[in-house]
Amino acid sequence: MASNEPLDPRAFRDALGLYPTGVAVVTAATGGEASHIGITVNSFASVSLDPPLVLWCIDRRSRRHDPFVAAPGFTVSILSAEHRAVSARLAGPGEHNLDGLALLQTELGPPALADCLAVFECSRERVVEGGDHSVLIGRVVRFHRPEEGAPLIFFRGRYRALA
């Protein structure tokens, strides 16, 4: 399968889409009081149990890139199947404030989404450049599981739920 031919970007993206992933929303403070932004990600993963580290990735061309990279920490909310509309809102272009969303306050600052399956409050550990994305590694300082339910899944470019 080795080849010197350049990869077809669309075919590569489609092939990656065959790996089902969970969906999360990451929130961070943007500077002002009660000023927070959110972004939908499916690139969330655990890195280490000791110390407790997680990661997620953001496109370096995103308007949200710099505020997330500069933030001292972030909160990750693992979405349930009930969060499809929230996920779509924070995935597309445009404003990514959290106005009008049901939120849970956190000790770290950036709020979590209410009714999510799990919340991870993270201090920024490291940012690593990875091609056209930045990989944000966070140290989990607190976590909790506020709800039970089915996860929101992303597969072949569409939202799904587990049967």
The predicted model gives 7-19 an average pLDDT of 88
Predicted confidence (pLDDT) per residue in 132-148, tens digit: 999 999 999 999 998 78
| Cβ neighbours, 10 Å, residue 53 | 17
Residue 79 CA to residue 84 CA, distance in Å, equals 8
Residues facing 75 on adjacent strands: 27, 121
Predicted confidence (pLDDT) per residue in 97-115, tens digit: 898 999 999 999 899 999 8
Is beta strand 73-78 parallel, antiparallel or unpaired with respect to 118-130?
A: antiparallel
Q: Cα(first)–Cα(last) distance of the chain, in Å?
A: 35
| Cβ neighbours, 10 Å, residue 105 | 9
Write down all domains in the chain, each with its CATH number in brackets: 9-161 (2.30.110.10)
pLDDT value at 4 more than 80? no
Per-residue confidence at 2, pLDDT binned at 50, 70, 90? low
What is the structure's pLDDT at 34?
55
The predicted model gives 121-136 an average pLDDT of 96
CA neighbor of 138 nearest in space, from 90, 72, 79: 72
What is the structure's pLDDT at 163?
63
pTM of the predicted model as reported, rounded to 2 decimal places: 0.91
The predicted model gives 34-49 an average pLDDT of 91
What is the structure's pLDDT at 88?
92
What is the structure's pLDDT at 154?
92
Determine whether 141 is exposed, middle or buried from the number of CB atoms within 10 Å of its CB (0-12, 13-18, 19+): middle
Residue bearing the bigger pLDDT, 96 or 50: 50
Predicted confidence (pLDDT) per residue in 42-76, tens digit: 999 999 999 999 999 999 999 899 999 999 999 99
